[in-house]
Chain A
Amino acid sequence: MKEELFISGRDIPNIDPFLNIWHWQIPIYLYLGGLAAGILFFAGIFTILGKEKEMSTTVKWAPFLVPGALVIGLLMLFLDLKHQLFFWRLYTTVRFESPMSWGAWVLMFITPLSFIYAATYLKEAVPSWKWKYSILESAERIAIQYRRALAWVLIVLAVILGIYTGILLSAFNARPLWNNSILGPLFLVSGLSTGTAVIMWMTKDHRERKIMSRIDLVLIIIELFFITHMIMGMLAGSSVQIAAAELFLGGQFTVSFWVFVIILGLVFPAVLEILELAGYKIPVAIPALLILFGGLVFRFIMVEAGQITRYLY
């Protein structure tokens, strides 16, 4: 594609009438970013509440997954770039009006901080662990001393990261499905929910699982409310927004959206969690996997469907 040779506003390959530039890497990145934000958010919250002992998986063990998720997510972003060697240019400027700038800078801070946070619990995870250099030992001591401050920073950054995964899409004003302000909070809540699913799955402590399961239930209800709100908002909009909503209401994404995202990804795991709270025995892997899978499908559908919605017909 030679952008410098465009002579018409219409009929541009891969952009008009349909956007065809974001492929599988973007939804995977949005998913991992949301998941990382979710885990860090709850790790931070329970650190500040002083519940390291009661909520050990949330505070100590699940955050070990975050650096990996963020690094793989960044790799996905990198794979998506067309001019990969110029990625550093994002870091030559700060633009408050650009979600990509927000995202680039948030990731610049949250990724190393997530490594530091996980490293402060490394010795508890691997008792025989010793840092090779004494400077790392003292760095660890300082990091442990300021863990609560770190937790505050991580909570703020996690919320920005979680919202940003939605804003990245909603800032596209040329795509009616994406261009609504509920997408940021929706992706944040969905990311938090996938984070709790991972923690629920990892923990062996029944009380911790129950707490996370309750939190997740609330998040699922909020998420369903946001999705309803998004669709209602679009249906109350102009005809292009109605056309965007109709992709989920009889259009080509109807079955995948309702079956995999709403029913199997949200409602069914919520029912299982309610049954578990009511005392029934349920293997936690099932609701956790369904939530994780539903979140992934949701991002694939939003990225895919958003690209075929448009303002000009």
Chain B
Amino acid sequence: MSEKTKKDFSNHYLNPYFGGVLLGFVLILTFYITGRGLGASGAAKSTVVTTINSVAPGYAKESHYVSQFISDDEHPMNNWLVFEVLGVFAGAFLSGILYGRLKPKVEHSPKITSRKRLIVALIGGALFGFGSQVARGCTSGAALSGMAVLSFGGIITMMGIFGSAFLFSYIFRKNWI
């Protein structure tokens, strides 16, 4: 395919409902292949645990939270979620190439600057990371995978995440529209 004849797909996104159905199939496949559900915050947690364990092993051993993920037999990065996230990177990269969207950019509302968007996203991400550890999982690990196996915790997490999202989106809407 030459570049001239190629269609411009850069603003062409999948129907979100169809995307949701596809995600469901991915989840079924994941359960079938790995015996576990999907997750994302777990990979971030493993990275944080590994960093703490390398920089301050003494603290990592004493900390009640960090120490539960460290054992002599297995490296904290040797975790299915870490590899899954690597795969997500690779897949997203391929999708970006195929749809001609592969370029560095910060998406934000025209009313705010890239800088503000990044700072707000960092704060939001940190809060979500903390919340996901309190809730024992994030949107993928607790809500998506949890609800797929009819876990009550998954349903509560889902309601917590989306309920508070509705609430806070009203307060912070000026960052977007």
Interface string of B97-109 (1 = CB under 8 A from A): 1101010000000
Q: Count B interface residues, CB 8 Å.
A: 14
Contacting chain A: which of B22-30, B44-52, B86-94, B164-172? B86-94
Assess A280 versus B98: contact at CB under 8 Å? Given A255-B83, A259-B83: yes
Q: Are A286 and B83 in contact (CB under 8 A)?
A: no
Contact A279 B102 (CB under 8 A): no
Q: Does B86 contact A264, Cβ atoms closer than 8 Å?
A: yes
Q: Please, which residues of chain A bring their CB within 8 A of the CB of B102?
A: 281-283
For B1-16 the 0/1 string (1 means CB < 8 A from A) is: 1110010000000000
Tell me whether B90 and A264 are in contact (CB under 8 A): yes
Given the complex, which residues of A lie within 8 Å of B90, measured CB to CB?
264, 268
Which B residues are CB-close (under 8 A) to A272?
A: 94, 97
Give chain B nearest CB distance to A41 CB in angstroms: 30
Residue of A255, A279, A280, A281 near B78 (CB, 8 A) is A255
Residues of A within 8 A of B97 (CB): 272, 275, 280-282
Q: Which chain A residue has the least Cβ–Cβ distance from B98?
A: A280
Please tell me which one of the listed residues B3, B78, B86, B94 contacts residue A271 in the complex, with CB atoms under 8 A apart: B94
Quick one: which of B2, B97, B100 has the most chain A CB within 10 A?
B97
Question: Are A281 and B100 in contact, CB atoms less than 8 angstroms apart?
Answer: yes
CA distance A280 to B3 in the complex (A): 7
Chain B residues within an 8 Å CB radius of A286: 93
Return chain B residues, CB-CB under 8 Å to A259: 83, 86
Contact flag A279-B3 (CB < 8 Å), given A272-B97, A286-B93: yes
CA distance A281 to B1 in the complex (A): 12
Which chain A residue lies CB-closest to B3?
A279
Closest beta carbon of chain A to B105's beta carbon, Å: 14
In the assembled complex, how far is the CB of residue B103 from the closest CB belonging to chain A, in whole angstroms?
Answer: 9
With contacts A255-B78, A271-B94, A272-B97 known, is A278 near B1, CB below 8 A?
Answer: yes
With both chains docked as a complex, state the minimum distance between the C-beta of A285 and any C-beta of chain B, in angstroms: 12
A279 cross-chain contacts in B, Cβ below 8 A: 1-3, 6
Within 8 A of B (CB), among A267-300: 268, 271-272, 275, 278-283, 286
For the complex formed, measure the closest distance between the CB of B14 and the CB atoms of chain A, giving whole angstroms: 19
B2 nearest in chain A by CB position: A279
Q: Which residues, 58 to 117 on B, are CB-close (under 8 Å) to A? A: 78, 83, 86, 90, 93-94, 97-98, 100, 102
Residues of A within 8 Å of B6, CB to CB, are 279
A268 vs B90: C-alpha distance when bound (angstroms): 8
Residues on B with beta carbons closer than 8 Å to the beta carbon of A283:
102
Interface 1/0 per residue, B113-151 and A, CB below 8 Å = 000000000000000000000000000000000000000
> How far does the alpha carbon of A271 sit from the alpha carbon of B94 in the complex, in Å?
9
A230-287 interface (Cβ within 8 A of B): 255, 259, 264, 268, 271-272, 275, 278-283, 286
Cα–Cα distance between A34 and B1 once the two chains are bound (Å)? 35
B170 to nearest A CB, angstroms?
39
Q: A279 vs B93: C-alpha distance in the bound complex, in angstroms?
A: 16
* Distance between Cα atoms of A279 and B100 in the complex (Å): 11
Residue ID in chain B nearest A271 by CB atoms: B94
Across the interface, which residues of A come within 8 angstroms of B1, CB to CB?
A: 278-280
CB distance from B1 to the nearest CB of A (A): 5
Determine how close the nearest CB of chain B comes to the CB of A257; give it in whole angstroms.
13
Cβ of A301 to closest chain B Cβ, rounded Å: 14
Report B-chain residues with C-beta under 8 Å of the C-beta of A268.
Answer: 90
Closest CB in chain A relative to B4 CB, distance in Å: 9
The chain A residue with its CB closest to the CB of B80 is A255
Residues of B within 8 A of A264 (CB): 86, 90
Residue of B nearest to A280 (CB): B97
CB neighbours (8 Å) of B3 from chain A are 279, 281
Q: How far is the CA of A87 from the CA of B90 in the complex (A)?
A: 45
Which chain A residues lie closer than 8 Å to B2 at the CB level?
A: 279
* Alpha-carbon distance between A279 and B4 when the two chains are bound, in angstroms: 9
Query: Which chain B residues border A282 with CB–CB below 8 Å?
Result: 97, 102
**Interface positions of A (Cβ within 8 A of B):** 255, 259, 264, 268, 271-272, 275, 278-283, 286
Task: Please list 12 pairs of residues, one from A and one from B, whose beta carbons are closer than 8 Å in the complex, sorted by A's number.
Answer: A255-B83, A264-B90, A275-B97, A279-B1, A279-B2, A279-B6, A280-B97, A280-B98, A281-B102, A282-B97, A282-B102, A283-B102
Closest 3 CB pairs of A and B: A279-B1, A280-B97, A279-B2
In addition to A264-B86, A272-B94, A279-B1, 9 A-B residue pairs with Cβ atoms within 8 Å of each other are: A255-B78, A255-B83, A259-B83, A272-B97, A275-B94, A279-B2, A280-B1, A281-B97, A281-B102
